[in-house]
Amino acid sequence: MIIAVGDKKVYKFPNSTIACEVHNGYTEVLVMPERRRFVVRHKPDHMRHLQESHPHRTYHWIATTIVVNDLRNGFIQADEEII
């Protein structure tokens, strides 16, 4: 898994387990066993557009789908690392 933070830092976690928790407005990403945490903020305009395009899906469903696609692709663009 590759996690890029902003436009300045890139981390590679080749043998790690990634756990994600979706909240309103952001997803928290936990990398184990390194115990590194990252935040991915969901852009309100983008989320609103997706909800309008798929009215039968909830906010959390859409956010989870985005995260699942990122995990499958092996790349997450995070907004910040929580230290």
Question: Tens of pLDDT along 50-77?
Answer: 889 988 988 888 899 999 999 999 999 9
For residue 50, the model assigns a pLDDT of: 87
For residue 19, the model assigns a pLDDT of: 95
**pTM for the full predicted model:** 0.85
- Confidence bin at 13 (pLDDT 50/70/90): very high
Number of domains making up the chain: 1
Q: Is the confidence at residue 44, as pLDDT, over 90?
A: no
Cis peptide before 55 (omega within 30 of 0): no
State the residue range of the domain holding 16. 2-82
DSSP letter at 71 equals H
* CA 35 remoteness from chain centre: 16
**Of 70, 64, 54, nearest to 27 (Cα)?**
64
